[in-house]
Amino acid sequence: MRIGASLRTAALALAVTLGVGLVAAATPAGAATDLDRYLDLPLVNRDAASGPGGVHPDLPYDAARLRELLDRARAEGIVPARYAALLSQYWLVDATTKAGIDLRTWDPRAGVTPNRDNLIKSYRYYENLQLEHRELRWAGMGGQVGADFGGGLVDFELMGAGYDLPGISEAARTVLGAVRDAAGPQAVALLPAGLSALAEAGADITPADLNHINGMILVMQKNIFSDLMPMHDAYVSQGLPALEEFQAAGLFGPDIMTAWRDVASGDEDRIGAGNRALLRREQQWAVSAQWDQVRAYKGSVGEAITYLSGAAGSPSVAGVVPPREFHPVRMPVTLADGRPGQLTLPLPDWNWSVFDARWDYITAELLPKYQFQVQHNWPALEAAMRVPYEQQLETHRPLLNIPQLLLAAANQLRVTPIDQES
């Protein structure tokens, strides 16, 4: 009996061994471990400041391969949170491919000239999404504003090559002098910190400083694309179920899922609310901390450059006032005869890099006026978006006339009695 039992045990063991061998032979070599190595990966490069490429250096860049891995993870019932990096990488590869961008080599730190085509292709993709899907208003507005953004970066690069930085500093000192002459030294202390920083640090800003800040701004541009364009791509490709997988994977929370349901609703009020929520994610979640870092760079240097970017900007969206005309400098002063007065200077009393101030401008000017264009002036908006993007970029070069703009502001300074103010 014991011999028989031993023989039966040995036979069973042999059968199991053969069975395992057959299963192994029927499964592609390394298939199980191949998927395992892509699970639970952190999105270490979700912030593009970490390096070039996708969200993790170990992930493939082939869309078919990524799709195969995702399908296997789904078929095996793996919870989406474990394959979040795979999911993010797949849709990012798909979006960059459609935009014509090589994700593997996309390196914001390389500078403006190497990234010029990526800027153009990014914003062309944004505008195409708006042209093809009327509800995707965040993308359309981003494409329009992108021309101002990209033109500013090109100008910053020129400035980094030595273009008139001393002239900018001298012009800022002229503004401060005009305020001092009109209202006394105490008024100068009440001016925006960025204006004083321009006068103080403008002549000392180096090409290396501008290159560093350009790199940070290009990082922000890639961060926005990498976060929001995969969502847009998934939406137009597979609809809300694809975005529900994003939420299940932890790539965004219920607020953004609600935003996408609003965008897809067909209801004008909900479409507006959904795009506003996406815009807030862009400005707060994606880039707010990095704007703070840029403003804090080398003290007055970062303060000066971030202030300058707002003071010089002239947005492309129809009807939007430039930042320098939105909450311009106004301060109470005492006139020579003792009466109360007000000093007005046509420069912004706020800094674009400060989230609350930026959000105030965006929601008061950019967002409602862009929404109006979509709803009431679509033919003109469509015509503007169909202009080749290279041309859109080149016609929005806001920074080259900065010394002239500052000197004009000094000449337009007004001090008036309070009872004459409207």
Q: Which pLDDT tens digits describe the chain residue by residue (422 residues)?
A: 333 434 333 333 333 333 333 333 334 444 445 899 999 999 999 999 989 999 999 999 999 999 999 999 999 999 999 999 999 999 999 999 999 999 999 999 998 889 999 999 999 999 999 999 999 999 999 999 988 877 777 777 766 665 456 678 888 899 999 999 998 888 999 999 999 998 888 778 888 888 899 899 999 999 999 999 999 999 999 999 999 999 999 999 999 999 999 999 999 999 999 999 999 999 999 999 999 999 999 999 999 989 988 888 778 898 999 898 999 999 999 888 888 999 999 999 999 999 999 999 999 999 999 999 999 999 999 999 999 999 888 777 665 567 888 888 899 999 999 875 44
Does a structural domain hold residue 397?
A: yes
pLDDT attached to residue 300: 92
**Quick check: 117 and 134 in contact, CB under 8 A?**
no
Spell out a b/e string for 366-399, using b for 16 or more CB atoms within 10 Å of the CB, else e.
Answer: bbbbbbebbeeeeeebeebbeeebeebbeebbbb
Does a structural domain hold residue 335?
A: yes
Helix (H, G, I), strand (E, B) or coil at 205: coil
d(CA 81, CA 157): 41
Does a structural domain hold residue 49?
A: no
Identify which of 95, 90, 148, 104 has the alpha carbon closest to the alpha carbon of residue 122: 95
State the total domains in the chain: 1
Amino acid code (one letter) for 291: W
pLDDT attached to residue 158: 65
Q: Which long-range contacts (CB under 8 A, 24 or more apart) does 210-214 make?
A: 210/156, 210/157, 210/159, 210/160, 210/305, 211/111, 211/157, 211/160, 212/297, 213/156, 213/294, 213/297, 213/302, 213/305, 214/111, 214/112, 214/153, 214/156, 214/157, 214/160
Does a structural domain hold residue 362?
A: yes
d(CA 322, CA 311): 8
CA angle 324, 326, 332 (to 5 degrees): 90
pLDDT attached to residue 22: 33
d(CA 399, CA 217): 15
Does a structural domain hold residue 303?
A: yes
* Lookup result for tokens 């793996």: 78
d(CA 300, CA 202): 9
Q: What is the pTM of this model?
A: 0.88
pLDDT attached to residue 200: 85
Look up residue 12 and give its two tokens: 């069973």
pLDDT attached to residue 164: 55
Which residues form the domain of 387?
108-208+254-420
Dihedral angle at the C-alpha atoms of 384, 390, 396, 401, nearest 10 degrees? Answer: -160
- Residue 251 half-sphere exposure toward CB, CA atoms < 13 A: 32
pLDDT attached to residue 397: 65
pLDDT attached to residue 11: 37
Does a structural domain hold residue 52?
A: no
User: DSSP for 7-62?
Assistant: HHHHHHHHHHHHHHHHHHHHSPTTHHHHHHTTTT---TTSSGGG-SSSSSTTS---
d(CA 184, CA 396): 37
Does a structural domain hold residue 192?
A: yes
pLDDT attached to residue 398: 61
Residue 362 phi/psi, 5° resolution? -60, -45
**Quick check: 174 and 403 in contact, CB under 8 A?**
no
Does a structural domain hold residue 82?
A: no
